Chains A and B, each alone.
Chain A
Amino acid sequence: MSDYNNESLENLASMSIRALRASKHDEAIEITQEMISRRDDHAGAHAVQFSSLFKSEKFEQARRMGGRAAKLNPESVFILNNQACLQLEAKQPAAAAGLLKSLIDQFGEQGQWLYNLALAQRMVGNFEYAINTFRRTLDYQPEHDRAAFQLADCLKIVGQHEEAVRAYDYVRLLRSKHAPTHSNYIHNAVANNGLSATDLDHELSLWRERFIPNDKRYTVDQPSSALSINIGFLIGVIPDLWLRSMVVPVINELANSKDSISVYWHDEKPPINLFDEQVSVVLSANLSDANFARQVRADGIDIMIDICGMRLGSRQRALGLHLAGRQYGWLAHEGYYATPLVVALDQKMDAQRFYIESHNETTQAAAKKTLIGIASQRGLAYEVIKTWSYILQQLPDWKLLLDAQENHIIKALRQRFSSMGVDSNRLIFDKKLGAAKGSVVLDNFIQNDPVTASYALHSGGILVALSGPLFPAQQSAALLSQVDRDDWLCASTSEYVARAIALADGALAEPLNQEQFDLSRLNNLQTFATHFRNTISS
């Protein structure tokens, strides 16, 4: 440091630039440190120091001084842009957005700046702004696959499902050889009525052809012992309510038996206080498919239960390698698998398909003349909104209670119902309210939710349900069958509408009572776990 004491500030400035140009970053940092100690608002010194830190990959140091450097050098594209990136990396989206806006205001729009700005907006939860900005990014760079993916994701989050499916399809056009992109599209399309049964068949056979390697190294034999088996559960990103009410209790119950239970956890957020001690939890989100297969093989899993399907965290490639003697899909899947090596367990469970833990939250009965629309937490598919709107138009004195809670979903639902001619004051969003004895409960007939449906049934609601061609739309039919109410299932959309209107007009229907509910074994964990174990091992 002392070497520079006798140099003038001008000389130091020249020396620092020379050092930077010669990639002598440490020297440049040292010189600029001396300059800043003499004059702490020296713009050039800050600029050179930031650049040197950045180029020598001392990112955290660069970020810490980058704010000041940007302030002193408000027209430096390099500083503004890179500091914005560093702030984004450090999860400081507001600071990043400010810098990016300044860049765009000064120098005009550029694809990458727009993309980073949109990311920042997404991180702060400003989804509408993010959606518009991702779209602007794509106007400049139509092949910007990350922007396309983020756009699709944001559209899904705000409940614009049909647009999201189209956007995921667009991502697939850009990442045509990327298996997870294909899975993502398939899952979202199935969940939103975007694929017919034949389409799904074509998609899955195409997936198998393209993405499942023909590799027998991982193939495992049949279960070793009928008395004690190693059961693996592969859990992807599934709705929290399903996880807690249908999956975790069964796993914990099975873990109390002689069997050994492993959970392969594919969500990046680790499970906290979900599973009992006997359950071995493997955090496998970051494993490659091959490493995952190796891990499962090393664990000696006899039966693997996939609770993911094509959802985020999908391991269809690994399942295609036949990594366990028997492989089943359960609950959270699309009904069929790309590989014939996985069998849908749900059908094999016959009449007793579900165990659903009773929920503790109590709700007040909604006011009279209120229809209860269930499974709208993540928004609703267009077909459902269209049908429910039609019912509301036929029942002008009635309102609709929806169970969505997130503000952006509520906003989207209001807009979408409004575009169907339903005034937003006819929609009620109140988590304290729910079904009561005799309430008319409209099922989300595209993406069924057996948990909320069972809660509604338990409260005495009359479920108006309709079975669709794909698995997500067939859950309610199975649930009604389990509670011995097959006759509540409608055969067509027109029957669904007519039934809802007739019930609202006072048509009689006998709600379930506690005795019937108990008989259905929906809430008998021990019986269900035994049935489950027998089914997978038989």
Chain B
Amino acid sequence: MERSKIERHFNCGRYQRALSGLSENERSAWGDTTKLRCMRAMGHKDAIAYADQLRSIISDRSEAYPMTTSERNNQLRYISLVYAEQNRAKDACTIMARLCKKSPNVAALHREYAFALSNDSQLDKAELQLNRAIKLKPDSASSHAQLALIYCRTGRADAGYNGYSRAATLEPNNVAYTQRLLYWSNYLEHTTQQSNYQLTQLWVNKAFPNQQSVSDTLNTANPARQLKLAFVSSDFCAHAIRFFIQPLLTGLNKDEFHLTGYSDAKAVDQATAAIGELCDVWRDSSQIDDTQFATQITADKIDILVDLNGHTSGNRLGVFAKHVTPIQLSWLGYPSTTGLKSIGYRITDRVVDPSELHDQFFSEKLLRLSNGFLCYKPLENAPDINPSGDQSHIRFGSFSNLAKISSLTLDCWSAALLAVPKSTLYVKRQQLTNKNASGFFIQQLVDRGISEDRIIFNHSTAKVEHHLDEYNNIDIALDTTPYNGTTTTLDALWMGVPVISLKGQTHASRVTASILYRLNLSGLATDTVFEFGERAKELSALQETLHELRFGLRKRMKESALMNEKQFGREFGNALRSQWRDWCHERDLTQTTTASLDEVKK
């Protein structure tokens, strides 16, 4: 097959045909590299073995064909990319470091080296390489986007947002950049609901300009029958989502709902299996495209489809835009609107989304459950709660994602530290190994008058149960804002550590308030930075209360709506049933009207 034809197949994503074409041709450097690129793009299981094979040929100089330096380097780039993607980041770094040294003025090499370094958790070095790449080629959208992600991961979400903005400006037709932009806007304190909604609308306009086909389902419109309810997520694995999906699946009435799970998770683990067992049907949808996925859902005759991703990475909003089931809704995974008209509803509650504030900024109709929008099932082997250690000073702490630690969060934390002399702040996050991240936080806190010796960083990557054990090292957890902790907040409370929060206007900034409300601890959700500091001071002074909370919070949680699977399942199910009845009613009306019109025509 001609080279140009093979390239065309590759560029159009017809990898199998490109591979067939390659197999007909004589081996060449270009052919082998293209084969590796095809295998990489397909996520082929043998890609890494093939990369190893090519690498060994290159190092032995035993090629069966002549190879120029440029061809060799190009092949090495792709070998490195495969390594970086498939848990061989160190090998990838070795290759790329050499290539960058040989050709220091090629921006793409620095960018790819940065990719390998990022996957090897060497974010400082990756940042350096990306800055080099940008200096060499300032208009590379992917360099800006890659750097933006590093900024976000290391707690500089403002700079991250600016980077994504540059990427989106450079490639306005690349909807992924606009989507990243709106996703990260949730982390910024200056994002208003209006600006987030506006960006979301822009993304919808770009991604689905002719959106969104209306469901033309053949499902029976019987308001009382058992409904086929399906959940779609790329996080059905050892991800926070499991703590919330399991109690829901357990709590739903199986006579009323037949449950299907569509897993887009790239990694499969024990959590995946545990969630799968709670479903009547379990399907791995990670290897099929949106069209195939939509066909599968239609074939499964799903009545209600629930999205658990929103605009987070790995989402399947493309499937939801096709409106494949009569009712589609969004829940839990994303704190703002999806923007899709085809997603009709969103499950929430009155504290996290007060009606007068929020309705206009969601394209979905908000369905508010009476007892909270989530139900939590903690880790079964969570460690015991230990008594507080040295009572002479208060230990504040946060185990939040660094991206959530905004400038406003640091204001709150500083207010708490300044209000409680001698207190310390314990921050645990693996990314803090990177000096750019830890240096940035220390400088931010020092600027706010907190001396460095009061800040303790822990960057271990412990297993989740050991991670929970770390809560035994703190007395009071400090929440992040405007993106509150969800699992982090619940984990802290489960470990007997009260959480002080600052509530804002958006869903993301009111999640902890909703959780605390269920535990009758609304006083810990404050309204101003000043109040945040005052609450920290008051709570710190009440040693007895802290002690009571430490050993009473678990019981309080167990008895609350937060962990009442049956109640939550019932409320969730009732909300869906009610919408299903409405849908049946509307469908009846439509059919009656159509029938009457037909009669008139006759």
Contact = CB atoms under 8 A, between A and B. Distances in A.
Contacts of B411: 386
Interface string B166-183: 101110100000100100
B446 interface: yes
A139 B201 contact: yes
B168 to A, nearest CB: 6
A173 B172 contact: yes
A493 to B, nearest CB: 5
Interface residues of A, number: 43
Interface string A151-172: 0000000000011011101101
Interface string B193-229: 0110011011011000000000000000000000000
B384 interface: no
Interface string B358-394: 0000000000000000000000000000000000000
Contacts of A77: none
B528 A421 contact: yes
**Which interface residue of B139, B162, B530 has the most chain A CB atoms within 10 A?**
B162
B439 interface: no
B195 A163 contact: yes
B201 A172 contact: no
Contacts of B181: 173
Contacts of A194: 158, 162
Nearest to B415: A390
Contacts of B449: 492-495, 497-498
Contacts of B178: 173
Interface in B141-175: 144, 156, 158-159, 162-163, 165-166, 168-170, 172
B200 to A, nearest CB: 9
A205 B205 contact: no
Given A143-B205, A198-B159, A420-B528, A170 B135 contact: no
Contacts of A497: 449
B448 interface: yes
Contacts of B476: none
B198 A206 contact: no
Interface string A116-149: 0000000000000000000100110011000000
B169 A198 contact: no
A206 B169 CA distance: 11
Nearest to B209: A143
Interface in A383-433: 383, 386, 390, 393, 420-421
Contact of B169 (A176, A420, A495): A176
Contacts of B530: 390, 393, 421
Contacts of A498: 449
Q: How large is the interface on B (under 10, 10 to 19, 20 to 34, 35 or more residues)?
A: 35 or more
A205 B166 contact: no
**Which interface residue of A139, A163, A199, A209 has the most chain B CB atoms within 10 A?**
A199
**Which interface residue of B181, B194, B528, B529 has the most chain A CB atoms within 10 A?**
B194
Contact of A206 (B166, B172, B201): B166
B190 A166 contact: yes
B191 interface: yes
A459 B130 CA distance: 50
Nearest to B527: A421
B414 to A, nearest CB: 8
A382 B191 CA distance: 13
Nearest to B203: A142
A143 B198 CA distance: 10
B437 interface: no
**Which interface residue of A189, A208, A421 has the most chain B CB atoms within 10 A?**
A421
Nearest to B134: A202
Contacts of B131: 198
The list of the 10 closest CB pairs from A to B, nearest first, reads A494-B449, A162-B190, A205-B138, A142-B201, A142-B202, A209-B138, A492-B447, A206-B138, A176-B169, A176-B172
Interface of B: 131, 134-135, 137-139, 144, 156, 158-159, 162-163, 165-166, 168-170, 172, 178, 181, 190-192, 194-195, 198-199, 201-202, 204-205, 407, 411, 446-449, 528-531
Given A203-B166, A420-B529, 6 more contacts: A163-B195, A166-B190, A172-B169, A202-B134, A492-B448, A493-B447
